[in-house]
Structure 1
């Protein structure tokens, strides 16, 4: 029997039992679709993470005291403006380094009140964080140097206090101190912002000196900066922590966060999710393979007389073996192709909804096709071998 004849016979057999063939392929379809979708979505997710990191700045870092915000914080370990100046002089690899002090306070406009995180910072903040301005502008060097009473608010605060009105030039009472609105930050449309759940804090930004006057405090909650090169980030952070501990006479009192840690955490989460869903997909493929074996065994039993008749007219064992192997392979291959189509379609839809780049993996598709053929060979061999070994006379007498 030629290979072409065997394929025709396999397709005829599958068409004869369409419903049974379809149900048998279901496990293969689901498993292959899950593998393709998981790999594609995982690759798209990693690409989206890297895009957001590059947009925000992969060289960003934040230095802060371990006990920041705690009432028992050692006064000697509190960061100061002089710490930032000292680090800038000692670390030439630092591109930008600025202070940030934060206080949760109420803001009021015409008896309309809202609460926000009031941040005292410098004019470089918007560029460092890569934040866009929707209206007006950010703080200027002149306003920062003169400790002007000006404020930049975000969209959330603008909507709370001014509704659909124009906030530029309006006065806002920040912790009982009037400040003039000079700008409104655009909403954060990054992929990370889309996953924030629950109530979100509003933010207002004022010059650090103004913040110090408003809240009667000289403390610096954190130092935010970036390096010229990504490769200098880790060593710069370690050097900065050592310098801060020496300046304050402390030991291991400062911590740092950087964007690379966020990348690593996100990649770890993606890897765990991909592995878990991949395991589920593997179980589905295994169940699908067992289903193929079961159906092929049933098919051998149903066609025992046919096998006996074919052997009686001269069919060899290898012909019978090839016939049933081809049926199993065709069954799993068709299921694999349908699974690829379903997986690619699901991945593209998910990428569109998540606003992630759709990155199809050629290796995943090759693996899916190869695996589906392998499933047919592995789980179809025993039924095919059993059919090939049937004795012609016993098969012809089978009822």
Structure 2
């Protein structure tokens, strides 16, 4: 016991004789520990944010995009050249994957959108099936969703994102109003719930959704 007390006395005496060095060493340990805690918390936050963004796209989701893989020479990387997927392809995929809960084909193209004197030069217009909101985790904040009948009859109706609402209508309720997508008049039937940016930083609230068959008839090859 006496030996232990003596060792402690010598140790504290040494600390007292080198106050500056002791203070710096203590701060070094403190900030080293703090750095580990901060990095750990940042890693947890990043993982949580990534999980949230993936969930934003839709849970248990596989997205199939059209393309053709080619190799130009033995040492060159693979490149992709766009081709077209059809509704028949979507049906074939659904038939070959019985374990898939849903198969929801969609199309996409950017068009100018006009309301009165306000023109937005390039807004993403998506042709979707009625079940897209469930598959892609989009919800309707107000108004009505796209229905099977809307798609079958190729009705010129649209769902609109919150950012696009603000650009075209400000604080005005857009439901029931008509906008011009390219040269096609479409009535807004619903407003989407805010989603924010996706993983790539694209604003998911700055887009429109129309029935897929309406999209194929009026906006493909335009």
TM-score for both structures, normalised by structure 2: 0.81
Residue of 137, 147, 152 corresponding to 2:154: 147
Residue 147 of structure 1, CA deviation: 1.0
Larger Cα Rg: Structure 1 or Structure 2? 1
Residue of 190, 210, 215 corresponding to 1:211: 215
Residue equivalent to 1:117: 124
Residue 135 of structure 1, CA deviation: 2.1
Residue equivalent to 2:76: none
Deviations 1:307-350 (A, max 9, x none): xxxxxxxxxxxxxxxxxxxxxxxxxxxxxxxxxxxxxxxxxxxx
Please provide the CA RMSD for this pair.
2.9
Residue of 92, 95, 105 corresponding to 1:89: 95
* Partner SS state of residue 98, structure 1: coil
Structure 2: gaps of 5 or more residues: 70-79
Residue 34 of structure 1, CA deviation: 1.8
Structure 1: gaps of 5 or more residues: 219-399
* Partner SS state of residue 104, structure 1: strand
Quick one: distance in 2 between partners of 1:24 and 1:207? 67
More strand by share: 2
Quick one: distance in 2 between partners of 1:124 and 1:40? 38
Cα pair 2:196 2:204 within 8 Å, conserved: no
Residue 212 of structure 1, CA deviation: 1.7
Deviations 1:213-266 (A, max 9, x none): 222549xxxxxxxxxxxxxxxxxxxxxxxxxxxxxxxxxxxxxxxxxxxxxxxx
Quick one: distance in 2 between partners of 1:125 and 1:45? 28
Higher RCO structure (Cα 8 Å, ≥6 apart): 1
* Partner SS state of residue 63, structure 2: strand
Deviations 1:77-124 (A, max 9, x none): 521111111221222011111211111101111121113011111111
Residue 13 of structure 1, CA deviation: 3.9
Residue equivalent to 2:84: 78
Distance 1:57 1:112, change over 3 A: closer
* Partner SS state of residue 167, structure 1: coil
Q: How many residues align?
A: 210
Cα pair 1:116 1:201 within 8 Å, conserved: no
TM-score for both structures, normalised by structure 1: 0.47
* Partner SS state of residue 60, structure 1: coil
